[in-house]
Structure 1
Amino acid sequence: MAFLRALLTAFIFVSAAPAARGAEIVDLLLVLAADVSRSIDEPKFQLQRDGYASALKDPRVLDAIMSGANRRIAICFVEWSGATAQKVIIDWTLIDGANAARKFSDALVEAPRPFADRTSISGAIDFSVEQLARAPFQSQRRTIDISGDGTHNSGRGLLSAREDALALGVTINGLVILSDRPLAWNPEHTNPPGGLAKYFQDNVIGGPGAFVAVAENFQSFGQALIGKLIAEIALAPKTPVNRLAATR
């Protein structure tokens, strides 16, 4: 089943290419894929949502967008948890200035939480790849930005999902949210051996220039996200604080 899904996604990519050539060109196609699994309680969820909403309209992020050759990017915002629990919260939207960013952020704040299930990072990658395949915009740069506070524990193999995405030319970046206290019912989920950032580096990210950014907690999520977005959008030579480059 996983092989068939990967094969179908690859077919969609190839089939969509002629249509994409006639689509509007942007500097980046970016899927923001946010973890809403059950380890993220309601206060943490709200901090994460607010962090995304604030970061997307931050003047520094807007400056990064305007620094591109086409002065615009396209964003799709996804939330995910278990193997069959992924949802597009805000569909593909052109961000070409402060007004578009503000409308996107306002819509994000108002959207309800879709679910709270297990943690399928492979499902998040597969679903995000599908969104890239149907994007109504065209770009040579296609990135999936996965934020999360725990390890993969549901769905097909994470490494297989990553390799399938990389084979399509997609870059996967990560933003890990560190937990002050391990989960009582599964401490290694949020605090695996070597740390969550190292886990994402070894198992999640990949592609040209891929990296992991670190938020020390949910309160600092927004600031970590701003640095990460600037690096992704502008391909800045300087890296965000607490960035780990991909080893692959």
Structure 2
Amino acid sequence: MMRLLATILSIVAGSVTAECRQALALGLDVSGSVDSSEYRLQLDGLAAALQRPEVVQLILSDTSNPVRLAIFEWSEPGHQRLLLNWTSLRSANDLKQIASLLNSTKRSAAPQGTAVGPAMLFGAKLLSQQSNCWKRTLDLSGDGKHNLGAHPREVKYTLQSSGLTINGLVIGADDPSHGDKRYVQAGELSAYYKAWVILGPDAFVEVALGFEAYEDAMTRKLIRELQGLNLSQAIQ
């Protein structure tokens, strides 16, 4: 009994001294398939999702061991733009400032291609800087399949033992005139991400039917990720 109590106390003590409970790297697709209005919906949607009360509550639930956030854009190999370097989220004001940054960010020139594999590698490199976090998660948003650079299946194999989680947020056809095709396209892209992109036992794919639905999809994804972190994961 005493040995069990000592073990529990050591677990609690270890969790208290941790500096970061979760590192989240968010990668946003800005390839040629994303037009200027869709770009705006994506950034503004993320900004709004980060200020949803339910998301704020989860992020700030333990500010002594904060969530750390980084945000980048991606298109072709070698073309990634860091919008937000690693930032510890300790207050609602931190989230407001990040939202303001996203709302004011202007699109920069980016190549047309969709390099999902290199985006995974870039995100993994970012997360390697956060080795003291309980969990490290890469989120990739995308509206198309990979067509340039290292294939996602090769990158996924390379990252198998990294300890990272990779989740996806796939964006289906934006035009309502596509009708049922929107669901077909979203389903195909979701299956593609499940096969070649997501990584880890708790990994999942969230779906947005068009960029107008991006805010709600991002909100669902963040809630699922933040709710999923518990003490048993932290001490693994």
The TM-score range, normalised by the shorter chain, is 0.7 to 0.9
Q: Which moved more, 1:140-149 or 1:228-237?
A: 228-237
Determine which structure has more spread, i.e. the larger CA radius of gyration: 2
Does the 8 A contact of 2:22 with 2:134 survive in 1? Answer: yes
Residue 191 (structure 2) pairs with residue 214 (structure 1): no
Work out the CA distance in 1 between the residues paired with 2:29 and 2:21: 25
How large is the Cα RMSD of the aligned pairs? 2.4
Instruction: Report the 3-state secondary structure (helix = DSSP H, G, I; strand = E; otherwise coil) of the residue aligned with 1:173.
Output: strand
Q: What is the CA distance between 1:59 and its match in structure 2?
A: 1.0
Unaligned runs of 5+ in 2: 1-16, 176-180, 231-236
Deviations 1:164-218 (A, max 9, x none): 223211100000000145xxxxx9xx948x6111111111101020000000111
Unaligned runs of 5+ in 1: 1-22, 182-186, 238-248
Match of 2:153 among 156, 159, 170: 159
Does the 8 A contact of 1:77 with 1:89 survive in 2? Answer: yes
Count of paired positions: 207
- Using the size of structure 1 for normalisation, the TM-score is 0.77
Match of 2:24 among 11, 15, 30: 30
Does the 8 A contact of 1:173 with 1:206 survive in 2? Answer: yes
1:180-219 → structure 2 map (5 Å cutoff): 180=174, 191=185, 195-219=188-212
1:126-141 → structure 2 map (5 Å cutoff): 126-135=121-130, 138-141=132-135
Work out the CA distance in 1 between the residues paired with 2:196 and 2:122: 17
Q: What is the CA distance between 1:112 and its match in structure 2?
A: 2.3
1:174 corresponding residue in structure 2: 168
2:6 corresponding residue in structure 1: none
- Using the size of structure 2 for normalisation, the TM-score is 0.81
Runs of 4+ in 1 over 4 A off after TM superposition: 68-71
Q: Which moved more, 1:66-75 or 1:111-120?
A: 66-75
Work out the CA distance in 1 between the residues paired with 2:62 and 2:75: 33
2:44 corresponding residue in structure 1: 50
